[in-house]
A and B are shown apart, each in its own frame.
Chain A
Amino acid sequence: MVPEVPVPGVPATIHLTLDGRELTARAGQSVGAALTEAGIRSWRRTRHGGRPRGLFCGIGICYDCLITADGVPNLRACLLPASDGMQLTSTGSELTPTTDGGVA
């Protein structure tokens, strides 16, 4: 990778997971970059063809790289900053049935 000079006070490495698999990232990186460097190129499947999708436009335009982070769906991996302890999941948006009086 491109040479990097560590900055004092900033952890050089942070830890996160994708569907339980452990990954590391450099501080300040996007989730998309961290996944790319981990050799992961897709983390979502299309809803009709089941096609694998990952980074395409890389700048927040195409929404191909959507990912769920800490339970929040539909985040763009290319823009989302990676943070320590972040739990990424490749499932998309889905509503849970009403069981609690229906108040969100």
Chain B
Amino acid sequence: MSVQRSGVAKQPAYDVAVVGGGPAGLAATAAAARLGRRVVLIDAGAQLGGQYWRHANVSSAGPHDHVGHRDWEVFEALNERIRRHRQTGAAVHVAATQVWFIEPPGSDAGEPDWTLHLAPTCGAPDDRMPRTVRADRLILCPGCYDRQLPIPGWDLPGVMAAGGVQALLKGQRTLAGKRAVVAGTGPFLLPVAEQLARNGARVVAVCEASRIGNWGRHLPTVARTPSKFAEAASYGWSLARARVPYRTGTVVMRIEADSSGEQVGAVKLGRLGSDGRLRESSESLDVDLVALGWGFTPALELVSAAGAETRVDVDQSLVAVVDEEQQSTVAGLYIAGEATGVGGAQLALAEGELAGIAAADATHLERSRVRALRREIRRLRAFAVAMQRSHPVPPRWSEWLTPETLVCRCEEVAYAQVSEATSDLAATDARTLKLLTRCGMGWCQGHVCGFATATLAAAGQARQLNAEDLRPLAKQFPCAPIRLGSLLEH
């Protein structure tokens, strides 16, 4: 037998395990540790901060690295509190580590608490890292990533998720291209374009599929969240100064290769009529970078693996069901941040802190703080709903697909194969469509094409997208790819 058993002794159980080192996870960790609980914080990143506060490697950081980070002082304060809890032993930070499986209390492992199985984010495990962590309570703060829609040519190098373009800037100080178009929908397009422009890229257009007038219905909500309005205004001002055209009702409907055929060279734009129909415009833009984002998709693999109930949110994302204390439908499992509904960092901070207090069994001790957090959560949730309603995925997006357009990038499944499965082969739901076409069965396990696949399955039946369409594309086991040999190490 070639399998090596690790020499690491079984870890003692913590009071609380937090997964995810973004705003929600940091707030949860700080709250639970403040209330005297022993907390382990497991984060896939090498440094805390998540996607929101992604920053350059601190070992080589420059003094201006926080420029462009919103609420950087909030991060510094949280980071400092957690650092002090780590010094006292109240908190433990396991960095650059992914959770590949969650066993609930009383499962086959026979443990009375949650068991998290860990693997390094990059490469093979070393003997110092714990293979499992056990905890009495679990708080999942897995965050989210850019939602994508297939577009002809979207798999050409030089086409990236908007969040990935931003991550290169914030985490690496690297510009992904020199001449960019930023396209999709949602306010997140603004900071990405603004940061590209500020760092020297020429942003030839921001293509926003929605119409700004959509916000008109939600003015009272916006008025209750002035900081959000100020944030958008500041990006808008920066973009205007950099002479970046902001085009609403406009989409990138085709992406073309440059003369080498090996990377992006141009995009063709389309206009969305008020009926939602796509009209091809004659306009073409020469670019070497396309940044795409259609809102966000919460990362739900851990939520699904833990057995928590899910639902479809306003923005058609699959999200976790939680109660007034951020507790999921599984006792002892709390969920905070984007996984309960995409809503941004401020909302994630509030939910994370509430989850930390609740997981520490301290809501009765912290009544006024809990009340304030709930108020804050309600206010920001209302704003998030207004935002999602104002920036929907264009309902007729599939009109820009060609038969050759890849729906699933990993398994290279073309739209024609998807259409054949939904029509000739009676794929009436997303699971059947997936198994017949291999959409969502490759390396990314449906993280990228899951929404599109589920939507196309529903559209094939002329019905609305539902949770049953999305659930088969929310991965369960393993929650992160692992070496077969690592499966045996514990």
A–B direct touch in complex (beta carbons closer than 8 A) = yes
Check if B57 sits within 8 Å of A63, measured CB to CB: no
Can you identify 22 A-B contacts, CB atoms within 8 angstroms? A1-B173, A4-B60, A4-B173, A7-B59, A12-B60, A28-B59, A33-B173, A42-B262, A52-B262, A56-B160, A56-B409, A57-B161, A57-B164, A60-B44, A60-B121, A61-B448, A62-B444, A74-B481, A75-B122, A79-B121, A81-B122, A103-B2
Chain A interface size band reads 35 or more
Kindly state whether residue B61 has any CB partner on chain A within 8 Å.
Answer: yes
Give complex CA distance A5, B65 in Å. Answer: 10
Given A2-B169, A56-B409, does the pair A61, B447 have CB atoms closer than 8 Å? yes
Give complex CA distance A51, B411 in Å. Answer: 12
Check if B157 sits within 8 Å of A42, measured CB to CB: yes
Q: Which residues of B contact A46 (CB under 8 A)?
A: 412
Query: Which residues of B does A touch, CB under 8 Å?
Result: 2, 44, 46, 51, 56-57, 59-64, 121-124, 145-146, 155-161, 163-165, 167-169, 171-176, 199, 262-263, 299, 409-410, 412, 442-444, 447-448, 481, 485
Max chain A C-beta neighbours (<10 A), residue from B158, B164, B172? B172
Check if B171 sits within 8 Å of A30, measured CB to CB: yes
How distant is B242 from chain A, measured CB to nearest CB, in Å? 16
Q: Which residues of A contact B447 (CB under 8 A)?
A: 57, 61-62
Q: Which residue on chain A has the smallest CB distance to residue B96?
A: A79
The 10 closest A-B pairs by CB, nearest first: A58-B164, A28-B57, A33-B172, A63-B443, A28-B60, A2-B173, A41-B157, A5-B62, A33-B174, A104-B2
Check if B167 sits within 8 Å of A59, measured CB to CB: yes
Check if B121 sits within 8 Å of A2, measured CB to CB: no
Check if B155 sits within 8 Å of A53, measured CB to CB: yes
Check if A1 sits within 8 Å of B174, measured CB to CB: yes
Give complex CA distance A52, B44 in Å. Answer: 27
Given A7-B59, A41-B263, A46-B412, does the pair A54, B174 have CB atoms closer than 8 Å? no
Query: Which residues of A does B touch, CB under 8 Å?
Result: 1-7, 10, 12, 26-30, 32-33, 36-37, 41-42, 46, 48-49, 51-64, 66, 69, 72, 74-76, 78-81, 103-104
Q: Which residues of A contact B174 (CB under 8 A)?
A: 1-2, 29, 33, 36-37
- 8 more contacts with CB within 8 A, not counting A57-B160, A76-B122, are A1-B175, A2-B174, A3-B64, A33-B168, A51-B412, A57-B145, A57-B448, A74-B481
Main secondary structure of the interface of A (DSSP, over half): loop
How distant is A54 from chain B, measured CB to nearest CB, in Å? 4
Q: Which residues of B contact A4 (CB under 8 A)?
A: 60, 62, 173
Give complex CA distance A75, B447 in Å. Answer: 17
Q: Which residue on chain A has the smallest CB distance to residue B261?
A: A52
Check if B172 sits within 8 Å of A7, measured CB to CB: no
Q: Which residue on chain A has the smallest CB distance to residue B409?
A: A64
